């Protein structure tokens, strides 16, 4: 049993420092767009990554991919992927890095009987640039830890497929989590939500 | 309890007529690409619809949408959508109809403990043109029946949002349902799989 009084005290106690988030235990109030978006991205583990396909005449090409935005207590909001150029998505990105990544709340089981397209069943599309991360960088190490922790079988994917870490550099956010159209949400608000000093969103 | 002997007899009995499919009860053998693809598309009910965003500098924009390809006994393989121009996806399509639609097997629960990106957990991306269907046509009536049957709450979506039927005219199919890369599958094979005279795929 969680001591709610202690929890509330910890929440009230915090300063508005910015940083990586600890896990967000329950679905945030939809009015809080940054918390709502970060909850959805940190909790989910797969989505559809969209690139521009040169093979298909410049069509937008969606592909089911797994991702992670950090270990559960180090969520960054930035989706990292483990891709191979044997697959069109990575090849597309290396030619044209325009991309978006789309995640639905539906697979989390928190939408109940509502339709996946019901506006109260959250969905987010992060648009930006899909970039290869230097495999020797600290960021790649962080991303591999995050990915392998959430997707244990990735560690054993065939070495000769040459999987590499990619990230989405987010430039625009489209979030629907309630009636009334997309929630206004800047990249800055999303990447640096106000958190208290134990890392929970205020 | 299904009488498997009768089922097998019915399956063997069929001629190779083409037409709308009755439901495909169990996951087909992954070697049978048309059956595998049609099973996934007919059984699932949501995916990510990707268009080219003029608002976002030509970026590929993915959006979570519900769909149907026909009533359970009249599956066509063609995904129909119910979209409003209050949402960017429909607006994008009316400016540039290049689109793809991506569906994962993962939400069906048949991937077990495998990762959503494991190649034996099927995924399909249908690429083509996203077209508005004339609302007075028989096709639109067929699509509305199919959509409202699979997504009952659609009937009650706000009238003033002016939802309209769209369809994906498929030009290319990307199917992964096993190791060894995408399965060769033409649009013709997908739209007109060999079926027997009770409408089950042979």
- HEC states along chain B? CCCHHHHHHHHHHCCCCCCCECCCCCCCCCCCHHHHHHHHHHHCCEEEEEEEECCCCCEEEEEEEECECCCCCCECCCCEEEECCCCHHHHHHHHCCEEEEEEECHHHCCCCCCCCCCCCCCEEEEEEEEEECCCCCHHHHHHHHHHHHHCHHHHHCCHHHCCEEEEEEEEEEEEECCCCCCCCCCHHHHHCCCECCCCCEC
Average pLDDT over residues A178-182: 96
List pLDDT tens digits, range A43-100: 999 999 999 999 999 999 999 999 999 998 889 999 999 999 999 999 999 999 999 9
**Residue B45 and residue A123: Cβ atoms within 8 Å?**
no
Nearest to B123 among A64, A98, A100 (CB): A64
Q: Is A14 among the domain residues?
A: no
Q: How crowded is the C-beta side of B60, counted as CA atoms within 13 Å?
A: 35
Q: Considering only CB atoms, which chain A residues are within 8 Å of B63?
A: 102, 123, 125, 174
Note the pLDDT of residue A199: 63
The rounded percent of chain A whose pLDDT value lies above 90 is: 80
Mutate to test the interface with B, among A41, A45, A46, A48 (most CBs of B within 10 A): A48
Q: Which residues from chain B sit within 8 angstroms of residue A47, using beta carbons?
A: 48
- Judged by CB atoms closer than 8 Å, whether chains meet at A62 and B100 is answered as yes
- When CB atoms are compared, the residue of A48, A60, A118 closest to B98 is A60
pLDDT category at A6 given cuts 50, 70, 90 is very low
Provide the domain limits for residue B134: 32-191
Cα-Cα-Cα-Cα dihedral of B114, B116, B119, B124, to 10°? 140
CB B33 within 8 Å of CB B184: yes
Tell me the torsion sign for CA atoms B86, B89, B92, B96: negative
Cβ neighbours for B63, distance < 8 A, ≥ 6 positions apart: A102, A123, A125, A174, B48, B49, B50, B51, B87, B88, B89
Q: Do B64 and A154 touch (CB under 8 A)?
A: no
* Out of B45, B59, B128, closest to residue A127 by CB: B59
- Residue B181 CB: number of other CB atoms within 10 A? 10
Q: Do the domain assignments include residue B74?
A: yes
Overall number of domains in chain A: 1
Tokens of A126: 């992060």
- Binary contact (B46, A99; C-beta < 8 A): no
Q: Which residue among A58, A102, A115 sits closest to B63, beta carbon to beta carbon?
A: A102
Q: How many CB pairs under 8 A join A and B?
A: 142
Distance CA A144, CA A164 (A): 9
A117 in a structural domain: yes
Residue ranges in chain B whose pLDDT is less than 50: 1-19
- Determine the Cα angle at A12 with ends A6 and A18, to 5°: 120
Q: Which residue of B has its CA nearest to A123?
A: B64
Q: Given pLDDT bands bounded at 50, 70 and 90, which one contains residue A201?
A: low
ipTM for the whole complex: 0.88
Residue A141 included in any domain: yes
Task: Locate the chain A residue with the closest alpha carbon to B104.
Answer: A64
- CATH at A104: 2.30.110.10
> Considering only CB atoms, which chain B residues are within 8 Å of A62?
48, 50, 60, 62, 100-102, 125
Are A57 and B98 in contact by the 8 Å Cβ rule? The answer is: yes
Please, how many CA atoms are within 13 Å of residue A201, restricted to the half-sphere of its CB? 26
Residue B55 lies in a domain: yes
Looking at residues A194-200, what average pLDDT do you find? Answer: 67
**Spatial separation of the C-alpha atoms in residues B167 and B169, rounded to whole Å:** 6
Distance between CA atoms of A92 and A98, rounded to whole angstroms?
9
Q: How far apart are CA B24 and CA B189, in angstroms?
A: 16
B13 in a structural domain:
no
- How many alpha carbons lie under 13 Å from residue A198 in its C-beta half-sphere? 11
Of B46, B50, B116, the CB nearest to A62: B50
Reported as a pLDDT band with limits 50, 70 and 90, residue A200 is: low
All residues at 6 or more sequence positions from B194 whose CB lies less than 8 Å from its CB, including other chains: B16, B18, B34, B201, B202
Report yes or no on A63 lying in a domain: yes
Flag if A62 and B59 touch (Cβ within 8 Å). no
Contacts of A56 in chain B (CB under 8 A): 127, 171-172
Name the β-bridge partners of A201.
A195
In a domain, A17, yes or no: no
- Residues whose CB is less than 8 angstroms from the CB of residue A89 and which lie 6 or more positions away in sequence, other chains included: A49, A51, A61, A63, A65, A83, A130
Q: pLDDT tens across A121-140, in order?
A: 999 999 999 999 999 999 99
pLDDT in tens, B48-84: 999 999 999 999 999 999 999 999 888 999 999 999 9
Answer whether A99 sits within 8 Å of B48, measured CB to CB: no
**Probe site for chain A from B47, B51, B62, B114 (most A CB atoms < 10 A):** B62
Specify the long-range contacts of residues A189-192, CB closer than 8 Å, at least 24 apart.
A189/A33, A189/A34, A190/A34, A190/A37, A190/A38, A190/A77, A191/A76, A191/A77, A191/A78, A192/A18
């Amino acid at each position: 049993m969680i001591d709610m009084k202690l929890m509330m005290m910890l929440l009230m106690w915090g300063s508005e420092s910015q940083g990586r988030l600890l896990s967000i235990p329950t679905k945030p109030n939809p009015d809080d767009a940054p918390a709502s978006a970060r909850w959805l991205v940190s909790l989910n583990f797969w989505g559809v990554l969209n690139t521009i396909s040169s093979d298909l005449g410049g069509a937008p090409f969606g592909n089911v991919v797994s991702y992670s935005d950090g270990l559960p207590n180090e969520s960054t909001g930035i989706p990292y992927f483990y891709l191979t150029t044997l697959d069109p998505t990575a090849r597309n990105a290396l030619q044209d890095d325009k991309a978006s990544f789309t995640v639905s709340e539906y697979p989390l089981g928190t939408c109940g009987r509502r339709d996946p397209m019901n506006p109260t069943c959250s969905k987010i599309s992060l648009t930006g640039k899909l970039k290869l991360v230097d495999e020797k960088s600290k960021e790649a190490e962080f991303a591999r830890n995050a990915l392998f922790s959430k997707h244990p079988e990735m560690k054993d994917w065939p070495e000769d497929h040459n999987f590499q870490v990619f990230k989405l550099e987010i430039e625009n956010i489209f979030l629907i989590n309630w009636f009334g159209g997309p929630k206004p949400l800047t990249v800055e608000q999303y990447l640096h939500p106000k958190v208290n000093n134990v890392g929970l969103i205020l």
